[in-house]
Every structure is written in structure tokens, then in C-alpha cells.
Structure 1
Amino acid sequence: MERRLPPVVARLWGREIPSRRGPRPGLELDTVVGAAVRLADRDGLEGVTMSSLASELGVATMSLYRYVGSKEELLVVMADAATPEPPPINGRAWRPYLTGWTRANRDFLLQRPWLLTLGQHAPPLGPRTLRWLDRALAALESTGLSHAEGINITTTLTGYASRQAALTHAMTATTGTVSEEVGGLVEYGEILGAVLDPAEFPALDDAVRANAFGAAEVWIDDADFTFGLSLLLDGIEALIARKADDRPTPIVANP
């Protein structure tokens, strides 16, 4: 028996059976979702409501439920529509490809920080988001790792890209009392130096006194991202090597 798809998945993949009842819809789903993405780009995710979207499209709010069953479904479809295509592999080995893949993942999240919130609620379901998973798994095919290990690696790299995008966005935001007062890593280190008790936070206090946060500020552009990513890729490389060492040596019969 064929599994019945959740309505939002059917919409994402064009598998929804059109209703024969009622008047024919006057819009396309792509038009509705495109308008919602424009609202999010302009006003943030909090600016996307069914009423604001209806106003943007010049239709009645209730008419939108012909295209998406709920606000939650709309957000899932928006996440897929706002995701760009993944980088092509173009014959690259797994490490250089995943380096570019993770960087591209971070970069589009920086361009649309509202996606950071959406990514926390559901696994990828649409064709665009799943193409990112597919390309990463394809890059790992020749490594000898299992499919499950490949998915775990992809999940880890996606999480790293998201955390780095969220951190960069938070450090560069200009709104909000706290971010205005902290300003950057130097100011952050100074605040920590004023409140830390060396007896309770000995290692962190030593790092603050050694100006570790001030030294790290020169990394803000890209080197901090590259450093952390290299650690992750080194771990993947070590896993590939360990798996290769664990493979049994083939027995060659004597001639």
C-alpha cells in the first residue's frame, strides 16, 4: 500500500491531488510562497502572517488556505523556496567539496537569517533542501563510509554552518541593548573580566587575562569559521582512515 504523504510534502513535490470542488484558484503556490519570502526578507519572520501575506497579494486571508493548510505549512514551504541550489560537485574530492558546501550553507543563512529559526523545527522535506543532503552524500560515496555515517556527517556540518551563521549574525547585529553594549569580542572579554571569579572559572579567567577574546576578534571575517571546519573535516578524514584500516585484508591464494 502506497504511503499517504503529509499535505505539506505533497505540495512541495507537486503530488497534491487538485480539488474539483469550489472555484478554481486564482493564484499559483509559487506566487504565494514567493510573496511570503519577500515579506520575510523585508520584515523578518515576525512580519509573515497570513493577513500580511494576503494584503501583499491583494486577496482575502481565507483564500490562502487553498494553497497552504496552515501558517506552519507555509513556513516549511518557504524554507525550501528560499534555499538556493547546492554547489555542484564538478569532480571535486570529498574534502574540498564539503568545505565549499558548508561555507555555501553558512553564507545563504547569513543572507537570510530568518531561515535560522525555521531550520530548528523540521528536517529537510522539499526538493531543494534535500538536494543539499544528496550532494553531500554523493561526495562521500568513494570514502568507504556507510550511508548512516554520511547522514550523520551531513547533519553535523549543517549544524556547524547554522551555529556559525547565528553567531556571526548576533555579533554584527546593531539592534538591542545587549548587543550595542557588548559591541564585539574585545568588549565581551572586558565584561567577562569584570564578573568572573577565578576560583569558580579558573580556565576561562586565564583565557580572558591572556586576551584570548581580543586575539580572536581578528578571526571574525573567516578564519574562525575555517578553523572550526578544518577540525570537523580532520575528524571525518580520521574516521575514513580508521574504517579503511579495519577492513579485512583479502587473502590471495598461492599460485
Structure 2
Amino acid sequence: MERDLPPMLRRMWGREPVPRRGPRPRLDLATITAAAIEIADADGLAGVSMSSVASRVGVAATALYRYVGSKEDLLTFMVDGVAPAPPEPEGRPWRDYLALWTKLQRDIVLQHSWLLSIAKYAPPLGPRRLLWLDRALAALAGTGLDDGEKINVASALTGYALTDAALAHAATTGYPEHDDTGIEGAADYGELLAGVLDPETYPALSAALRAGALGETTGWVDDDDFRFGLDLLLDGIERLIARRAGDPGAGEDDEEI
């Protein structure tokens, strides 16, 4: 039996019944979501409220609740609505496609940094984000991975995109939660740690920082840094695919942890 959808998901997927009587609605969910995204892009997530969105679309705040049940629902709509259409995988090897797919997700977050506050652990629920997941699974067709493994691959790459975007954003905008430390970027962070770490207790980390491992040219900002971590993940996926294909050079399955 098909599970009943909660009202928020019915709205997001256009599954609400269309009233046969009464005036036609003045607004639609896409218009409201776009207005909320515009506010968040300009003023940050703190600027988004039911009243500010209502003012942007020209209705009273009470009228907005006819379309959006709560601010929490609105944030969910925004996370989905900000996603553009994903690239299509046809004609690309799976590795090339997933490299592009992951970088574009990172770029979306960097363009709309307010996503970092609400999309960290939320599974995709809306039609746009689920389209991204669908295309990742399609790109892995024919690799020998089962469906669960394909979903895990997509989840790992999405998590990496979000984490790298968070680090890159903090490195370029500063660390407001540590204002009293004077940390304004990765280089400041590295210098600060280099001054407090005991080389005997933290020999490897201390040596790396004193050698400038988080200098101005590194520290999660450059695309080279992003690609380095991405290649580590893609190499692991490639090895898993080789194991599923029975390649003796790919090694045995790792022991369960």
C-alpha cells in the first residue's frame, strides 16, 4: 500500500488536490521559494522569515500559510528549489561524470552559502535534488555495483562536496565563531596551531604546520585541493568496481568494521 505523503511533501511534489470551487490561488510554491532564495542570497538565512517572504511576494504573512505550512517547510523547499537541473550522464564515463557532478554540487553550495546551515544532514526529499541522485545512479549503470552501493557512492560524494564547500567558505570569509582568536583564513589557522602544538605530543601535525601545510596557496580554497580529495574517493570507487568485476589485482573486500 502506498504511504500517505505529509502535507509538505504533497506541496513539493504537486500532489495536492486542486480545488474545484473558489478563487484561483494568487501564488504558487515556486514563486514563494524563489523569493525566499533571493532573500537568503542577499541577507543570509537570518533574513528569511514568513513575513519577509510574504512582503517580497506581495501578500500578508497570514496568507503565506495557505501555501507554506511553516518556516521549517519553507527551508526544505529552498534546499530543493535552489538546485538547478543536473548534467546528463550520456556519453561520459562514470568517473568523469561523477567528478563533474560532485564539483557542481560544491559550487552550488558556495554560491548559496546559507545552504551550509540547513543541508548538512538532510536527505533529499524534493524533485530537484532527487533528480541529481537519479543521474548519479544512472552514471553508475553497468559498473557492477548494486543499487545500495550506488546510493552510498552518491552519498559519500555529496558529503564530500558539502564538507569541502564549508571549509572553502570558512577559509575565504573568516571564522565568526572564533572571532577572538583572530583567525581569518586557513593560513591564520595554521599559524595559530603551529604556535600551540607540542612537537613531542603532535610530531607529525606540528611538523606539517611548521612547514606551511596550510599556507596561502592551500587550505581548502584551490580547485587542486578539492580535486585531490575527490580523486581519492573516485579511486576508491574505481577499486570497488574492479573488485565487483572479479579483478584479482583489485584486492579482496575489506573486513567488516
Give the distance between the partners of 1:183 and 1:232, measured in 2 at CA.
29
Alpha-carbon separation, structure 1, partners of 2:16 and 2:220: 48
Is 2:43 the counterpart of 1:43? Answer: yes
After TM superposition, give the deviation of residue 62 of structure 1 in Å: 1.0
CA root-mean-square deviation: 2.3
Identity %: 57
Aligned equivalent of 2:156: 156
* Count of aligned pairs: 247
Which residue does the alignment assign to 2:31? Answer: 31
- Which residue pairs with 1:252 in the alignment? none
In structure 2, runs of 5+ residues without a counterpart are 249-257
Report the counterpart of residue 200 of structure 1 in structure 2.
201
Contact 2:40 2:114 in 1 (8 A): yes
Structure with bigger helix share is 1
> How far apart are residue 5 of structure 1 and its match?
0.8
- Residue 60 and residue 219 in structure 1: after superposition, are their counterparts in 2 closer, same or farther (change >3 A)? closer
CA deviation string 1:204-253 (max 9, x = no partner): 11212222222862873210000000000000011011111179xxxxxx
| Structure 1 gap ranges (5+) | 248-255
Alignment partner, residue 122 of structure 1 = 122
User: Which is worse superposed, 132-141 or 33-42?
Assistant: 33-42
Match of 1:89 in 2: 89
TM-score by length of 2: 0.88
- Cα drift, residue 121 of structure 1: 4.8
Specify whether residues 229 and 116 from structure 1 end up closer, same or farther in structure 2 by C-alpha distance, changes over 3 A only: same
Alignment of 1:1-255 (within 5 A): 1-19=1-19, 24-173=24-173, 176=176, 178=179, 181-214=182-215, 217=218, 220-245=221-246
d(CA) in 2 for partners of 1:246, 1:175: 46
CA distance in 2, matches of 1:53, 1:218: 37
User: Contact between 1:89 and 1:139, CA under 8 Å: does it hold in 2?
Assistant: yes
Letter in 2 for 1:107: D
Q: Which moved more, 1:122-131 or 1:23-32?
A: 23-32
Q: Is the 8 A contact 1:80 1:127 kept in 2?
A: yes
TM-aligned CA deviation for residue 183 of structure 1? 3.2
Q: 1:139 to 1:22 in 2, by over 3 A?
A: same
The one-letter code of the counterpart of 2:240 is: L
Change (3 A) 1:121 1:95: closer
